[in-house]
A and B are shown apart, each in its own frame.
Chain A
Amino acid sequence: MQVPTHVEYERASSVDEALEMLSRAGGEARPLAGGHSLIPMMKLRLAQPELLVDISGLTELSYINVADAELRVGALTRHAQLLDSAVAGERLPIVHDAERVIADPIVRNWGTIGGSLCQADPSEDLSAVLAALRATAVIRGAGGVRTVPAREFHAGPYETVVEPGELLVELRIPLTANTGSAYEKVERRVGDWSVAAAGAVLTLAGELIEDAGIGLTAVGAPHFCAPEAEEFLRGRRAGEEAFTTAGQIAAEHSNPVADQRGPEDYKRHLAAELTTRALRKAFERA
């Protein structure tokens, strides 16, 4: 039996109330959304917040819609809802590729998009997806709303730029024409953490690559992306040669760490191969 330490619990009925509760407790409060990360960490006493602010009833933060050529996803949207979204599936196949391989259906039914991102696990899939898509995070605090590019959202492993007293409220993903995307992940067994994964977004202008986004999971890529490989691809003719080289560049700039799931060299090898495959698939879909 694993038992968390003593904790206060309050349930917020609005975002404003949640912000008020969070700021009142200073750095010792944590918002509780799906709870799939926080509760186990509390049981293991890796997290010992003094106050839980339950935001799971804030339906105002649970939505998926399109506005201003962006897909806007409320932070409290469940993984399963994003996976069910037709517009996400049609316009952003990379999102559905990733959602299909995030944990298992039970976790996806209750875990939230915002919670995943704020957990900031280096093996978490959506961080790389949103980096590849050059999405924007919308953060609210007592002082108002600020936006942060997905590529600047993480401050380190398990660390984000969301300050105590603030809430991640929305993600904005640009919807671009002539664009294809894909996400490919290697896991040792179904539902497991990534050994490595890569996402690719390609915007084409005829046969040329107008723009590219590459996201990398669990291989120590700074900010989950591969800017050198993206730079290499920009303006180049789309095709096998470009994709293979881009994969190699992405691997060179990744910095994986050996663990129970594989040695460094293998992970770097995966970074190259998966980047190439994701680019290939994104190109097919563009």
Chain B
Amino acid sequence: MTAPTITSIRAGRIGDSPQRPDGRQKVTGEFAYSSDLWLDGMLWGATLRSPHPRARITGLDITGAVAMPGVFAVLTHEDVPGRETYGLERPDQPVLAIDQIRYQGEPVALVAADHPETARRAAGRIRVSYREEPPLADARAALAPGAPSVHPGGNLVRHVRVRRGDPDARAAVVVTGEYEVGMQDQAFLGPESGLAVPAADGGVDLFVATQWLHVDRDQVAASLGLDPDLVRITLGGVGGAFGAREDLSMQIHACLLALHTGKPVKMSYSREESFFGHVHRHPASMRYEHGCSAGGRLVYVKADIVLDGGAYMSSSPAVAANAATLGIGPYEVPNVVMDSYAVYTNNPPCGAMRGFGAVQACFGYESQMDKMAAALSMDPVEFRVRNAMREGSVMPTGQVVDSAAPVAELLRLVRDRPPPPARDTGDLRSLPGGVSNTTHGEAVVRGVGYGVSIKNVGFSEGFDDYSTARVRLELTGGEPSAQVHTAAAEVGQGLVTVLEQIVRSELGVERVAVLPADTTIGSAGSSSASRQTYVTGGAVRAACAEVRSQLLARAGDPAAGSPGNRPPGLAGAAGLGDLVALLGKPAEATVTWRHRPTAPLDPGTGQGQAHVQYAFAAHRAVVDVDTELGLVKVVEIATAQDVGKAMNPQAVEGQIHGGIAQGLGLAVMEEIQVAGGVVRNPSFTDYLIPTILDMPPVRLDMLELADPHAPYGLRGVGEPPAISSTPAIVAAIRDATGIPLTRIPVRPEHLTATQPDEGPDPPSAMIMGRNAPHRVPFDPRS
């Protein structure tokens, strides 16, 4: 068994777009994902999950499962040797349910068997007696006095208050709005999977697809009751993440089974189980009030945002802080009253997903900006430009934006793009309903909408956000070659390519190998918050500088003491011969690198230097809507984004296209439909993800305005594309139809007279009253 080793000798320095070392393997199916891990003699783990969203466990009988031939272990919470709970911010989530169930799909028991089907069937023979209780399924109701508590201490996970200026400010023009965001799923393609191997020293080696190896390790070790050094984690091949792998899924479970049986244990979720195996994007319920002068300058914003965190905390506190601190958007507003709440309910747990709190708020504030522009009879772009934040602007937190904030420029860029061509009614693919032949142009109306967004990059609020990198330069076959070792997770974003580019640029060598990420080196932090190129890239650059300094010292160069001083011969075209002479023995450096510190928010006022960097993007959406059938075709997205420095322009473009696809999904397709705490569509047949035919052409303007505080001037790029693409598309649909549209995703029935989009989750309520027809989760056509 081998973890995927990603090496490359392809050329490509910073600013180039070299081929990804894993690209060909992924396209041809040769890439080893974590679900491909295999050891002879390994067992298969299966999880028994609760069918109920809220219940007391009154009995548990494992004898039927234990008796099955081929079964090696059946474990319950009593078999957890260490801490019985885990969690990113607070360990409030049981490894296995203890006495109660707080969400549908909560793990209750584990089985290890010699065949996956045996394991699954044995899990089915475990008898659990539940006493069902009515689930707490509405986040605002969960905050009401007297609501039953999901956890001791009440249902409020965190309340973030931000106060700036005069809380009683008045304005000439006032618009209010209430908005809702449904539950989006990260919908990665590689389900949760991994392989735990018991070790002779009493520890365990875990190979797993994850986003943050060290935080996994610490949580696994605590629950196993082991010293963290005895839990060694190596990154398996990751089939997408988008935040969903920041929390644990099968990590502790597989390790428990491996240690219990003394055999390697593999766990790999089915698609359906995957929907219950990871956190989702928080649904949100938002109320906004915007006040504006008659001349079109924002005077105040008052808002409250309620985020449904579901049954466990996960990263809800940080999501609530993002929604609060970024919740008025990239605008200058002198007076702000913002309250953001994360709440426990009996819905599926929610946590990290691309955009992390900024997505929900952006739908609210951008909807409001359009509403206000209409109230003022102003052009929506002109109104935004007039209020746009710039470098030197002050955030509602009091933080000064101290690098480029080209909000007005981004808006003008997308506005000034030539409009897409008129409809081609001869090409069905370009029409709403696509090749389904439903329209040849009848009842189709075009609309245009805009959105602009702000996102923090990196971890905030005083978190010690760092990464560790080891760079080793040595002669291999007489040629200088570099090895890079970090614990940073390549989750498909292209990090390994960028790290190679950094080493080539810094050390002037062509041969670079990125070693498998594991916990034998210090933490790299999470592959999330658009931070990994910034932070691990920064660490790799710093390690390269150390290596360079060592070599200069060997050469007796007086510049050796100042690693930033780039000498000729180590990064230029010449000097390979010099390098060979200097590398009689390898040069190696391990560096822990931090970005500049942030500070906590004042709990009363939300004031503080909470974020390290801000990123901005603007979108213009053009849509065609079949107003009789309620079908939307997104015709084109024009976008502009400041990336500081395009380290790998093609990868940046890929991030932007992918983020827009995810934003489109939230606008018109993607929703985990939850009714009374029960998920109605846990399959890719019923959870709709945009395909290439749903995805429009993207017209992209990329700005490179260097951030002087960041390595190479770069700015995190991963998240902004997924944030304002959604409100831009919804604004375009409003423009086409005149329907207010206060809830996303917009559904076809919202666009016809048959179903208003008001009220909490009408489609789910509809399902509750009837039996949904039997639907098998695949495509049974023969």
Contact = CB atoms under 8 A, between A and B. Distances in A.
Instruction: Specify whether A and B are partners.
Output: yes
Contacts of B770: 257-258
A79 B755 CA distance: 36
Contact of A263 (B117, B766, B780): B766
B749 A157 contact: no
A253 interface: no
A186 B433 contact: yes
Contacts of A186: 433, 436, 438, 629, 631, 748
Contacts of A116: 781-782
Contact of A266 (B630, B685, B782): B630
Nearest to B689: A189
A189 B688 contact: yes
Interface residues of A, number: 62
Interface in A238-270: 257-266, 268-270
B680 interface: yes
Contacts of B673: 260
Given A3-B116, A260-B767, A270-B629, A40 B778 contact: yes
A102 interface: yes
B548 to A, nearest CB: 49
B782 A195 contact: no
A145 B116 CA distance: 45
A122 B773 contact: yes
B435 A184 contact: no
A111 B688 contact: no
Contacts, number: 154
Nearest to B770: A258
B782 A277 contact: no
Contacts of B685: 192-193
Contacts of B754: 263, 265-266, 268-269
B438 A190 contact: no
Interface stretch (A14-22, A31-39, A64-72, A169-177): A31-39
B318 to A, nearest CB: 31
B114 interface: no
Interface in B395-440: 433-440
A97 B688 contact: no
Contacts of A27: none
A184 B436 CA distance: 6
A30 to B, nearest CB: 11
Contacts of A142: none
B681 interface: yes
Nearest to B434: A190
Nearest to B270: A2
Main secondary structure of the interface of B (DSSP, over half): loop
B693 interface: yes
B779 interface: yes
B747 interface: yes
B625 to A, nearest CB: 13
A159 to B, nearest CB: 12
Contact of A192 (B116, B681, B688, B778): B688
A112 B630 contact: no
Given A190-B694, A193-B685, A273-B629, A259 B773 contact: yes
A38 B779 CA distance: 10
Nearest to B782: A115
Contact of B437 (A100, A111, A260, A265): A100
B585 interface: no
Given A1-B268, A263-B763, A37 B749 contact: no
Contact of B748 (A192, A266, A274): A266
Interface in A160-216: 182-193, 195, 197
Interface centre among B268, B688, B753 (most CB of A within 10 A): B688
Contact of A260 (B629, B680, B691, B778): B680
Interface in B748-778: 748-749, 752-755, 762-763, 766-767, 769-778
A190 B693 contact: yes
B435 to A, nearest CB: 6
A46 interface: yes
A196 to B, nearest CB: 9
Nearest to B685: A193
B16 interface: no
A44 interface: yes
Contacts of A97: 437
B704 interface: no
Interface in B357-373: none
Interface in A30-57: 33-38, 40-41, 44, 46
A36 to B, nearest CB: 5
Interface string B462-493: 00000000000000000000000000000000
Given A186-B438, A260-B767, A195 B748 contact: yes
Contact of A190 (B442, B691, B763, B778): B691
Given A116-B782, A191-B691, A260-B680, A266 B755 contact: yes
Interface in B736-755: 747-749, 752-755
A103 B747 CA distance: 22
Nearest to B442: A277
Given A115-B782, A257-B772, A260-B763, 12 more contacts: A1-B116, A38-B780, A38-B782, A41-B780, A101-B436, A116-B781, A119-B781, A121-B780, A189-B669, A262-B763, A266-B748, A273-B628
8 contacts: A2-B270, A37-B781, A116-B782, A195-B748, A259-B773, A261-B686, A263-B749, A263-B762
